[in-house]
């Protein structure tokens, strides 16, 4: 699952985001003191490509190694192999500054196309994270080969307009997908899950936000989607040199809320828009109620898609247990990681010794998690009067049924709240069979048409 290798919020996306590909973490190298960054990056690639998962895992610091499972690394390796094939060539490394040291970018050529490996290393030669992603000079949404528009997308029925949102000194490119015709329409603002994601919320060959935008616009609904601030910063060397900007982007406000509110304001000013609805996915769904509450009435409705009701750190032990059980057994090593994750969740939840605010927790400062506690979605949602539609996949292991039941119970009897759960869908609201796994996200698919239909039907009733 894609993480945020450019900042301290690196590892959060590995378990919690809807985006797959690679594990990232903060940690230490079991290697000679202060090896060259390029050497570290090439060794990480060698271990990953060679499937030497135990050795690769040993490269992480003890406090993070407990959260990185061999099965997770292996699943990431299978996902990369499925998407890109065999590694054919490694190009010349680029070494550039990063918030906690340096980042090495290795251009790679695989059977099925190019990829770039980002390896972030601190001044002591310790591995902070690694991530497969688009080229560093690429602007706008990543466009990996393999994506085919969804069958329900009819481009003759909508047009795309370029958008640039400007928040906190960062320009966020976006796309406003507008139905053709002269009538008035709802505008849906899409808010991403965790991690540095593009406007399409690209996952390998899958683009769930593009599916939603084109599917909804085909049905007469406008959609605004934009590149996330963390994604834009990762592409721009100048922005990565600004400590204040990086610090702000490692908070819920700077990562999600400020940009989503600017998108809401922009959409509300567009001609033909009858009202703005926020659709948040995963972390974006968790924070959607807070976006509505801070919008001063601009948000007229919420769609919470695969949204967690509990704090993020409480999901991690369950995700680790689920992944450990995929092969039919939980090893002592896996159980140890699960137990440590539970203990950390307890401390962050106020039971036991508090976690110092600047402590690195799964790649993010502890204050990030405490700030999310103040934005707990159920209490905020309970204060709102706007209509809500909650969508969930029955095969979603990242935000499991426990959270779905909490939403149902917490909003029971609340007027204007609708619930739809789709048994065969995963965290990306894409169909599949059997237990969901990280590798599934690398298989080309589309947001299920029933999800598009459920959103349009709900909007028609607003």
pLDDT in tens, 198-242: 999 988 778 999 999 999 999 999 999 999 998 898 878 788 888
CB-CB neighbours of 306 under 10 Å:
28
CATH number of 12-133: 3.10.450.590
- Indicate the SS3 state at residue 404: helix
pLDDT at 146: 60
Residue extents of the structural domains in the chain: 12-133, 155-312+363-461
pLDDT at 68: 64
Tokens 């000079």, residue? 137
Q: What is the pLDDT of residues 399-432, one digit of tens each?
A: 999 999 999 999 998 999 999 999 999 999 999 9
Catalytic residue among 192, 281, 427, 446: 427
Clarify whether 392 is annotated catalytic. Answer: no
Cβ-in-10-Å burial (0-12, 13-18, 19+) of 190 comes to buried
In whole angstroms, give the CA distance from residue 4 to residue 102: 14
Catalytic residue among 282, 392, 437, 445: 282
Domains 12-133 and 155-312+363-461 share a fold: no
User: What's the DSSP call for residue 256?
Assistant: I
Clarify whether 5 is annotated catalytic. Answer: no
Q: Tell which residue, 216, 222, 289, 219, has the closest CA to residue 252.
A: 289
Q: What is the pLDDT of residues 379-402, one digit of tens each?
A: 999 999 999 999 999 999 999 999
DSSP codes of every residue in 318-381? HHHHHHHHTTT---HHHHHHHHHHHHHHHHHTTSSSPPPTTSEETTEEHHHHHHHHTT-HHHHH
Architecture of domain 155-312+363-461: 3-Layer(aba) Sandwich (3.40)
pLDDT at 183: 85
User: What's the DSSP call for residue 296?
Assistant: T
Catalytic residue among 396, 437, 446, 448: 396
User: What's the DSSP call for residue 359?
Assistant: S
Residue 144 confidence (pLDDT) above 50: no
- HSE-up (13 A, CA, CB side) for residue 103: 27
Clarify whether 427 is annotated catalytic. Answer: yes
Q: Which two tokens stand for residue 200?
A: 């399409």
Across 77-81, 87-91, 287-291, 392-396, least confident range: 77-81
């Amino acid at each position: 699952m894609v993480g945020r290798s450019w900042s301290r919020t690196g590892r959060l996306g590995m378990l919690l985001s809807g985006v797959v590909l690679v594990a990232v973490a903060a940690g230490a190298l079991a290697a000679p003191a202060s090896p060259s960054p390029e050497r570290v990056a090439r060794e990480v690639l060698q271990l990953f490509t060679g499937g030497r998962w135990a050795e690769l895992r040993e490269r992480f610091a003890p406090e993070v190694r407990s959260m990185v499972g061999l099965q997770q690394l292996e699943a990431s390796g299978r996902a990369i192999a499925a998407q890109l094939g065999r590694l054919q060539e490694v190009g010349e490394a680029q070494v550039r500054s990063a918030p906690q040291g340096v980042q090495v970018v290795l251009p790679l050529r695989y059977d099925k196309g190019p990829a770039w490996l980002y390896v972030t290393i601190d001044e002591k030669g310790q591995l902070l994270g690694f991530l497969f992603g688009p080229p560093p000079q690429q602007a706008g949404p990543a466009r990996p080969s393999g994506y085919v528009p969804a069958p329900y997308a009819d481009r003759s029925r909508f047009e795309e307009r370029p958008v640039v949102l400007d928040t906190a000194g960062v320009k966020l490119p976006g796309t406003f997908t507008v139905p053709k015709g002269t009538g008035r329409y709802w505008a849906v603002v899409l808010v991403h899950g965790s991690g540095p994601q593009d406007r399409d919320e690209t996952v390998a060959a899958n683009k769930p936000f593009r599916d939603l935008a084109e599917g909804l616009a085909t049905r007469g609904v406008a959609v605004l989607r934009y590149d996330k601030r963390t994604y834009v910063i990762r592409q721009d060397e100048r922005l990565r040199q600004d400590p204040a900007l990086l610090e702000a982007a490692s908070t819920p406000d700077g990562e999600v809320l400020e940009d989503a509110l600017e998108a809401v304001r922009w959409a509300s000013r567009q001609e033909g828009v009858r009202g703005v609805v926020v659709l948040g996915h995963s972390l974006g769904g968790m924070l959607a109620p807070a976006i509505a509450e801070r919008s001063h009435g601009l948000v007229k409705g919420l769609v919470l898609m695969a949204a967690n009701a509990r704090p993020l750190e409480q999901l991690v032990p369950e995700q680790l247990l689920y992944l450990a059980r995929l092969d039919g057994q939980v090893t002592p090593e896996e159980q140890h990681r699960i137990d440590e994750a539970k203990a950390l969740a307890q401390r962050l939840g106020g039971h036991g010794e508090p976690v110092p605010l600047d402590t690195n927790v799964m790649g993010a400062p502890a204050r990030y998690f405490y700030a999310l506690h103040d934005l707990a979605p159920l209490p905020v949602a309970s204060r709102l009067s706007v209509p809500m539609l909650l969508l969930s996949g029955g095969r979603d292991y990242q935000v499991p049924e426990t959270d779905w039941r909490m939403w149902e119970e917490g909003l029971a009897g609340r007027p204007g709240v609708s619930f739809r759960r789709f048994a065969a869908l995963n965290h990306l609201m894409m169909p599949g069979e059997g237990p969901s796994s990280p590798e599934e996200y690398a298989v080309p698919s589309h947001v299920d048409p029933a999800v598009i239909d459920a959103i349009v039907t709900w909007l028609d009733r607003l």
